Structure 1
Amino acid sequence: MLSSDHIEIHETAFVTSAFRAADVKLSGDYFAYLWNNPKTEKWVEEYLTKVSSEETFTHCLRNRYFLDKIKENVIKNGTEVLINFGAGFSMYPFLLDPKIIHIEIDKPEIVGHKKFKIEQWQNEDLLPKRNLHFIGVDFSKEYKEGLLATIKSLKGKKKCFILIEGVLFFLDREETDSLFQLFNLLQDTGDIIGSASFQDNLKQTLAFKRLIDFFGEKISKTKASDYQTIQDTYYREISGYILVDHQDYFSLSKDYNHKIIQDKELILNENFYLLQKVKS
């Protein structure tokens, strides 16, 4: 799916998986290696050189944080369904309790390829069977009503954890508002949202400037204004939810005893939020 001189936004899913596979002890993802391929390795090497060599660890810690929080909510909050928006090639279904129902949502080309490969690896006994449902969605088109009905038919009244990581950066605020409104319709009191996004101050760093330059070479969007950053206040003001946890790469590095290599200016510091629904 990766071409020789150009990368689509959805194809960054291969690169993200390669990052998680690079330090399995940190990421907790023992199956990410399955997505590795020579073309992805080329992109990873170029990305780490031109943007930030710390990116391997930022992605590992993002995966680890959400993996641990989902596990925690399965035990403490009775979570039975994980709904992953922009699931990419994440491997949470195979890292969590086999009883969990997984609803994976992404662009049709991503979910189609993922479904095909997972079934292949399951037939080869490289992956265990799981309760997996794939939904292909084009977020640039009207999707809300049909998606809501499909998810509700799979979820029923079960408690759920909604995860959205690596997505909001590529959406605008109107699309983001629409997604969180959809989450509100899907969830009941006590349910959790896990979200990852960048803050405004990232745009002043050298790492961000390098990222935009890299995207300018490889992806059609080329301006800083084409990418969304989100302040803490956005999460605090989402109707019907309370913010129950907020971390970033630096705080997680302390929690997981990870030694940071690069200067702060050269790190794409991502922020991670947990929201809990307080009223239906």
Structure 2
Amino acid sequence: MLVLVLCGCLSGVTTVLFGFGGGFVTVPVVYAVSTATAGTAAMHVAVATSAAVMLVNASVATCAHIRSGGLRTEYLHPLALFIAVGALAGAAAATAVPDRALHLLFCAYLVVAIADIVLRSGFLTRADSRTARPRPPGTATAVAGGTGIGAVAAFLGVGGSVVTVPLLRRRGLPMTEAAALANPLSIPVAVVATIVYSFAAHGNPGHGTIGYVDPAAALALLAGALPTIALVKRTLVRVPDRLHAIAYPIFLTIVLIAMTATTFT
């Protein structure tokens, strides 16, 4: 429980900095804990519990951003609607995938995401904001991109930030604004995924679980995350945009290493 609380603190930091909602911290941590209790369903329990934690973290962070006036609401609709549609398909698909395959797909997705951030222009080096004005996603991007974001995010229990942050940054937003928007855009993913995973467990994935969701692990993570979100939001100094962007793929690489290390255990 102490390890989960401490990791919850880290998830709170990444929720504010990157808009992760905690997903990229909670999935590896809950997976490691669940291997002893959930057996062959450990990855499903990790993904489901991550979705539940992400729902609370992202909601709290969104409220904090609204209070501070740091949320550009014109970017939310209709993208959030199609993210919810995609999330339903992604969560339903995940329940039919073997636990081992879900683990490997999580690692593969991280590889693709890191490569996209590093190799494609527009993320690490942003266009000069004085000549390139931010542009909300058009209808086609909202429909296709939102559905895809929701499906992948709910399938892996990671929210949509790993897609939405690069998408919004390439449309001219600085990292702080793109990360802030990732939190409300993760809420529809978290709501749909938590509901689906709560009713979709096959057999008995672990003692005390609700479907695939482990409420004890979720509460321990939230005990660390919620006060950390409040503290970081109040005290964090503004991070230079370039440094903020570089830190994003570095953190994803650390998560990839952690998940890869457990692939063959």
TM bucket normalised to smaller: under 0.3
* TM-score, normalised with respect to structure 1: 0.24
More helix by share: 2
Judging by fraction of residues, say which structure has more strand: 1
Higher relative contact order by CA 8 Å / sep ≥ 6: 1 or 2? 2
TM-score (norm. length: structure 2):
0.25
